[in-house]
Amino acid sequence: MAVAGTDVAGTDTARTDTTRTDTTATRTVRSFCRVCTSVCGILVETAGDQVLRVRGDRDHPMSAGYTCPKGRALPDVHHHPDRLERPLMRAGDGFRPTTWEECLDDLGARVRAIIDEHGPSAVGIFFGSGVGMDAAGYKMAQSLHRAIGTPAKFSPLTIDGTAKVLISDLVGGTPALAGRPDYDTATFVLFVGSNPVVSHGHTVAMPNPIGTLKALRDRGEIWVVDPRQTETAKLATGHLAPRPGTDHAVLAYLVREVLRDGARRDVLENRCVDADTLAAAVEPFTLEHTAAICDVPADELTALCAAVRRAERVAVETGTGVTMSASANVTQWLSWALMIVTGSMNQPGGAWFHPGFGNRLENVQLPVSPAGGSFGPGPRSRPETHSFLGEWPCAVLADEIEAGNIRAVLNLGGHLVTAFPDTETLVPALRKLDVFATIEIIANETTALSTHVLPTKDQLERADITLWDNLMPRVATQYTPAVVEPVGDRRSTWWVLAELGRRLGHDLAATSGDAATDGARLAKVVPRDTFGEDLTTRQWAETDRQLPAPWVERHLDRLGGWRLAPRLLVDQLAGLTEPAPLVFVPRRQKRHLNSQFDFLGTQAEILIHPDDATPASVRDGEPVTVRTAHGEITGLARVDPAVRRGAVSIPHGHQYANVNRLTDKNDLDPITGMAHYSGVPVTIHPG
């Protein structure tokens, strides 16, 4: 895209190219993909109400023409044979189509009665990925949640990402510090349990991942710590494959060595507290001890340490391979510690902190979190848990329902059956709800359990802007018009929630008249009058990034320096136990994302090392059953030496091989309440 002026880069118009094929006009509309937070630029070809093709936009300033198979499959999503087109209400064991008025009247009356009798806390709200990639819908969901006033809020935060926000809170003194490597100038990046070539939209987005990694490798070094030789590891300078659940030991060893010889003394003395406590915590992680814990050759550890010492700055990125495990918190903590003691935080070539294009954190004074973390009261049924940043752990939902504390759940775009832990306990609990309303675009196992099914616009049917701009690699936002008209009687999510709110006695937004448009709602999402003809015409707006960022330094002044050794984390590091000989670890696939894109035909291939497969009589290409103390699933065995001994790699999100059947709602991280989705002991058997 050409640059216009100093702040905004984009096209001169929201380009629509029209040609003629037979009697149908073919249009190409510039948009951006909202499958994940990478929000790659796409060109969508349509003919009438048919979506023909999605391809990458070579003029896009971030993705430069890149798209993944999932983004290119958006036409199949839009035309899916099981797409939902009209509101549904339960009728016995099935559903009957109905009108929006009847459906919302019934839903509103039933939720209102529950609140009147049992209070707002009897209503649980799940902010699923569906509403999470819908800017106007998400903002309205926040308004509805505030209006109802229930503490029972749930989100994917406690499914795969709590550790990252926890460390921002405990070490950085605010959960607003969204750090990411400076990929533009970095010369050393360490990926721990992260495979951005496949999973490039987890927490920190990487559009055009292969291009980004190749450019990085040309000027520096890429190292990967992962029990599998991933697609990213194949592009790396070096790869360590430790036992699953021991990533923290690798980082503790690196921090120990740097503190002993190589730490930035000015940073330790002027920008940190409790450096001595950190040094004592990592002191046991000698080369010999770490090599034994991780079961990796000592020379591989020393090679990685030498690379860290060579680097002027160090950038570390973690992924779900880390954040879903028992060692998640300490691994994320030590990744921050390594960047801090090498003087890499808020520095070119190290890690930078996104101010947000919309929120503009550089213009506000960030509140300083308490040293013990941003925790609050939790659910009555699970007194050992608590809330974090105003959310309850997803793992407690079934218990809250069984205890009668939650009687209605508003499921805003989430597939609970494949997302929440302990499926065998969750599904019976969901069936007991008085109200289970689900916003969705394609029928699935979760909609089948619902009392009300609310079909909303898919991403090609609505105008939108980038909601999570603080996860982008640029300080920018982008806009897309609606590409096609909504099918059937689909409505905007914001409209559905505002109408439900009205029936509950809350005036959240106008739902009729000139103000009741997607554009009018989007104008309220981006502040500073950014939303207007300029953005909707050019479709891209950007401001400069400052590095070092003065607003981060001002926050550190108020904080008193990085909190290098929070007591919660020091104690958790000391209490970690040795992993079991055989455990399962999570994995994403190129043509599958969480519960989406099953129709692309990707199988649930379970990767097993030959040394683990042979004694169990498991053969390549044949069914294999994986069992935990809690449940079992069956998938297709792939006997592969690229995954290390002791690791059974299972993709998540498959309905027929649902890894949540292996998890336990009572096997939780003691700090965050997040269920463990990785590192769980398993046995394997011929299927």
DSSP letters, 290-331, are HHHHHT--HHHHHHHHHHHHH-SS-EEEE-HHHHTSTTHHHH
17 pLDDT above the threshold of 90: no
At 203 the pLDDT is 66
Per-residue pLDDT tens for 229-275?
Answer: 999 999 999 999 999 999 999 999 999 999 999 889 899 999 999 99
Tokens of 290: 């770490």
Report helix, strand or coil for 138.
helix
Give the Cα separation of 258 and 614 in Å (integer): 41
Containing 29, the helix (H) or strand (E) segment is strand 24-32
Of 163, 177, 178, which is closest to residue 329 (Cα–Cα)?
Answer: 163
DSSP state of 170: H
Give the chain's length.
687
Measured CA to CA in angstroms, residue 644 lies from 190, 236, 474, 612 at distances of 19, 17, 36, 9
Which of 360, 39, 352 is CA-nearest to residue 184?
Answer: 352
**DSSP 8-state code for residue 416:** H
The enclosing H or E element of 253 equals helix 247-260
What's residue 3's pLDDT?
Answer: 28
Q: How many other CB atoms are found less than 10 A from the CB of residue 372?
A: 11
For 543-588, how does the pLDDT look when each residue is reduced to its tens digit (9 = 90+)? 899 999 999 999 999 999 999 999 999 999 999 999 999 999 998 8
Query: In this predicted structure, what is the pLDDT of residue 655?
Result: 80
Other beta carbons less than 10 A from residue 146's beta carbon: 11
544 burial via Cβ count (<10 Å: 0-12, 13-18, 19+): exposed
Q: What is the pLDDT of residues 52-71, one digit of tens each?
A: 999 999 999 999 999 999 99
Please measure the distance between the N-terminal and C-terminal CA atoms of the chain and give it in whole angstroms.
52
- Predicted confidence (pLDDT) at residue 597 exceeds the cutoff of 80: no
Which regions of 473-618 does DSSP assign to beta strands (E)?
476-480, 540-542, 562-563, 583-587, 605-608
Say whether pLDDT at 48 is over 60.
yes
- What's the mean per-residue pLDDT of the chain? 92
Residue 2, pLDDT > 60, answer no
Q: Residue written as tokens 């030991």?
A: 249
Q: Is the pLDDT of residue 8 over 70?
A: no
pLDDT tens figures, 424-454: 999 999 999 999 999 999 999 999 999 999 9
Cα–Cα nearest to 399, from 157, 629, 665, 663: 665
Task: Look at residue 176 and tell me whether its pLDDT is greater than 80.
Answer: yes
Better-predicted residue by pLDDT, 524 or 177: 177
Q: What pLDDT is recorded for position 682?
A: 98
pLDDT at 359: 80
Max avg pLDDT among 162-171, 315-324, 357-366:
162-171
Rounded Cα distance between 161 and 196, Å, is 15
Buried b (16+ CB within 10 A) or exposed e, 13-23: ebeeeeeeeee
Q: Could you read off the pLDDT of 358-398 as tens digits, one per residue?
A: 888 998 999 999 999 999 999 999 999 999 999 999 999 99
Q: What are phi and psi of 200, to 5 degrees?
A: -105, 25
pLDDT tens, residue by residue, 489-536: 999 999 999 999 999 999 999 999 988 999 989 988 776 556 667 788
How much is the average pLDDT of 628-649? 96
Please say whether the beta carbons of 65 and 231 come within 8 A. no
pLDDT, residue 530, reads 62
pLDDT level of residue 637 (50, 70, 90 thresholds) = very high
> What are the tens digits of pLDDT across the range 299-316?
999 999 999 999 999 999
The residue type found at 439 is I
Encoded tokens for 317: 């990125």
**Residue with the two structure tokens 């790869």:** 239
Return the pLDDT at 7. Answer: 26
- For residues 324 and 333, what is the distance between their CA atoms, to the nearest angstrom? 14
- Report cis status (omega within 30 of 0) of the bond before 428: no
Q: Given this model, what pLDDT does residue 360 score?
A: 86
The answer to whether 652 and 594 are in contact (CB under 8 A) is yes
Map residue 49 onto helix, strand or coil.
coil
> Of 125, 141, 145, 143, nearest to 133 (Cα)?
141
Q: Tokens 């752990």 — which residue?
A: 393
CA gap 554, 174 in Å, rounded: 13
For the ranges 1-10, 208-217, 232-241, the lowest mean pLDDT is seen at 1-10
Residue 11 has pLDDT above 90, yes or no: no
**H-run or E-run covering 71:** helix 69-72
Secondary element (H or E) of residue 167: helix 162-170
